[in-house]
Amino acid sequence: MEKKLQVGILGATGMVGQRFISLLEHHPWFEVVTVAASPRSAGKTYEEAVGDRWKMTTPMPESVKHLKVMNVNEVEAVAAGVDFVFSAVDMSKEEIKAIEESYAKAEVPVVSNNSAHRWTPDVPMVVPEINPEHFEVIKDQRKRLGTEKGFIAVKPNCSIQSYAPVLTAWKEFEPYEVVATTYQAISGAGKNFKDWPEMEGNVIPFIGGEEEKSEQEPLRLWGKVEDGQIIKASEPAITCQCIRIPVLNGHTAAVFVKFRKKVSKEELIDRIRSFSGLPQELELPSAPKQFIQYMDEENRPQITLDVDYENGMGISVGRLREDTVYDYKFVGMSHNTVRGAAGGAVLSAELLTAKGYITAGKK
């Protein structure tokens, strides 16, 4: 790429916004030129607006420290300086729907981490290794919005990334019933232990809205494009419990699966290890070389050892074994703010760029 694409981050001061900033620091295709946040932060430098709430382990990049934070509601002004935006705004669902659509209508592609548009029929919700063909509906969305360049693309919830890719790798064996319990890190709620001391040594058996997302969103990933819309798949039936645990980063899932077809443990492990997609084929900058690793050790995956596998973009799986009630059970784990949030969105933006959906300029 001759000149890097100029990128804005909406909701730049929050946890996911900060993750976007740190992941994009040395990105070969994208350069953060605009940071936007609530009117409260607008006018301050990024460094002042974030203050002591910088939650990344690497220092705040010098290149963003002195950027003036723009008011995210001033769409035309923000849109004027960027080729596309990542959205991690923190507002009500209705407000997010409206503001993301305003950016798209201002001819700015929006790659969003938010859930607001995940069920808008012509908005693709993509994990690039799983359902890149869903980007096809962008042309229908552009027709609806009356845009040439602007559109919205979203990524799914972080909780499903530890098991949906694995079930995708096993599609040929027809999984039809799945039980999953997720053990979710506190950064998923945008917090660390300083913000949320009650989580030290604690477990909370409730995460608002999470179980519905964890059960339904995989079905949309496996859906079909029909008449410019995504129609969700009807199988497998998934039931979930989502639990908050005292871990900073990394969502773990303990999963039970029934298959229609007979399959051996060796075949299941083989499909995990050989599973790859378009990001690997195109060697996109953020693509993990090995998307899913299978670990033979009986005490893996572990958060402290494995959460940063493939720079946080890979999924770690272990403990696959036959079950007495279901056919098989396993444990999956992924980095919730990298693969599950900002990193997943960056990979989507890379694929959208490689496929020509995101380009420089407004026309």
Ligand X SMILES: N[C@@H](CC=O)C(=O)O
189 binds ligand X per the rule CB under 6 A: yes
127 binds ligand X (CB under 6 A): no
Backbone Cα Rg of the chain: 20
Cis peptide before 156 (omega within 30 of 0): no
Identify the burial level of 338 via C-beta atoms within 10 angstroms of its C-beta, where 0-12 means exposed, 13-18 middle and 19 or more buried: buried
DSSP state of 68: B
158 binds ligand X (CB under 6 A): yes
Whose CA is closest to 350, among 153, 158, 100? 153
Measured from the CB of residue 263, what is the shortest distance to ligand X in angstroms?
30
Does the protein bind ligand X through residue 164 (CB under 6 A)?
Answer: no
H or E element at residue 10? strand 5-10
Residues 144 and 34: their CA atoms lie apart, in Å, by 28
Binding region for ligand X (CB under 6 A) out of 55-63, 154-162, 221-229, 278-286 = 154-162
Which burial class, exposed, middle or buried, applies to 148 when counting CB atoms under 10 A from its CB (0-12, 13-18, 19+)? exposed
Closest distance of CB 240 from ligand X, Å:
12
Concerning whether 251 is annotated as a catalytic residue, the answer is: yes
Q: Which two tokens stand for residue 353?
A: 């760029």
CB 331, min distance to ligand X, A: 17
Residue 335 among the catalytic residues: no
293 is a contact residue toward ligand X (CB under 6 A): no
Which residue stretch of 133-141, 184-192, 305-313, 350-358 sits at the interface with ligand X (rule: CB under 6 A)? Answer: 184-192
Q: Which of 88, 179, 341, 358 binds ligand X (CB under 6 A)?
A: 341
Closest contact distance (angstroms) between CB of 158 and ligand X is 3
- Report the b/e string of 339-361 with b at 16+ CB within 10 A: bbbbbbbbbbbbbbbbeebbeee
Stretch that binds ligand X, among 55-63, 102-110, 295-303, 335-343 (CB under 6 A): 335-343
Per CB under 6 A, the list member of 12, 64, 207, 240 interacting with ligand X is 207
By beta carbon distance, the residue nearest ligand X is 188
From the CB of 194, what's the least distance to ligand X, in Å?
A: 17
Is 268 in a helix, a strand, or coil? helix
Residues in contact with ligand X by the rule CB under 6 A: 157-159, 184, 188-189, 207, 210, 336, 340-341
Which residues have a catalytic role annotated? Answer: 158, 251
